[in-house]
Structure 1
Amino acid sequence: MTAAKRKGTAWESALVTYLREHHNPGARRNAQMGRLDIGDIDGYYLHALEAKAEKTITLSSYIAQANKEAVHAGQPYGCAVVKRRMKGTADGYVVRDVATDVRLMNRMRDMEEALQNRDFDLWYDIDKEHREAA
């Protein structure tokens, strides 16, 4: 295994560990599927996640790959999670194009409005919890 491959595998493993602790205990690395690849990690809610740990960062290719893999994975959103040099996992960057981010924000807005209208007290408690965690 090359040094670059080891670095990528270590980044994917670190992301899975972080996601399991902070987001989804079922997060896992995906098997590579060639041209029908579904992203590097499964379990990042609604996303195909493309993990990148490279010296030279090329966002446009990362986003194109993540968006393509989202289609293959049947997920509505693709994102790249890029390792930040000399920093820990939580300091990495989640990157998506503006069109994808706007679709995600529209969904979040619509779902929050629906919950507010259906059960304001539940919405309020969830909103408060997330504001305090920020």
Structure 2
Amino acid sequence: MSASKAKGTAWETRIVGYLAENGFPHVERRALYGTQDRGDIAGIPGVVIEAKNCRAMTLASWVDEAALETANDGADFGVVWHHRAGKASPAEGYVTMTGETFARLLLQAGHGNRLGADRG
């Protein structure tokens, strides 16, 4: 396994551990699906998590990748959980998504007004 792959696998494993310790008992690393990839972390219905542990942040391409994987999975939400330099815990990492995804997440959580959601 390459050093880059090992670094990514370790980050995914830390995310899974963090989520499991914080109320998500079914979370797990997902097997690779090739061109039909469905994200790196599974076990939260309707959510795709793409994990990234890279020196350079390329948010646009990462968010596009998460969107494609969300469509492949038929999920409601796709996010990128990326490592924060100098911080080991996923609790201190970043979670990135589009504004549209964030608005839908807030609405599903019971915040906001669905009538206002049509204003775009």
Q: Which amino acid aligns with 1:31?
A: A
| Separation (CA, whole Å) in 2 of partners of 1:95 and 1:69 | 15
2:33 counterpart residue number: 33
Aligned length: 110
Paired residue secondary structure (1:109) = coil
Q: Which amino acid aligns with 2:104?
A: R
| Separation (CA, whole Å) in 2 of partners of 1:46 and 1:71 | 11
TM-score, L = length of structure 1? 0.78
Which has the larger displacement, 86-95 or 38-47? Answer: 38-47
Task: Give the gaps of 5 or more residues in structure 1.
Answer: 111-134
| Separation (CA, whole Å) in 2 of partners of 1:50 and 1:23 | 19
| Separation (CA, whole Å) in 2 of partners of 1:44 and 1:84 | 23
Q: Which amino acid aligns with 1:100?
A: T
Task: Give the gaps of 5 or more residues in structure 2.
Answer: 112-120
Instruction: Name the structure with the higher helix share.
Output: 1
1:8 counterpart residue number: 8
Cα offsets for 1:55-96 (capped at 9, x unmatched): 001001111111111111121110000001111221011110
Paired residue secondary structure (1:20) = helix
Runs of 4+ in 1 over 4 A off after TM superposition: none
Summarize the Cα distance change of 1:83–1:44 in structure 2 as closer, same or farther, 3 Å threshold: farther
Cα offsets for 1:90-134 (capped at 9, x unmatched): 101111010111111112126xxxxxxxxxxxxxxxxxxxxxxxx
* Percentage identity across paired residues of the two chains: 37
2:108 counterpart residue number: 107
| Separation (CA, whole Å) in 1 of partners of 2:100 and 2:83 | 23
2:118 counterpart residue number: none
Q: CA RMSD in A?
A: 1.2
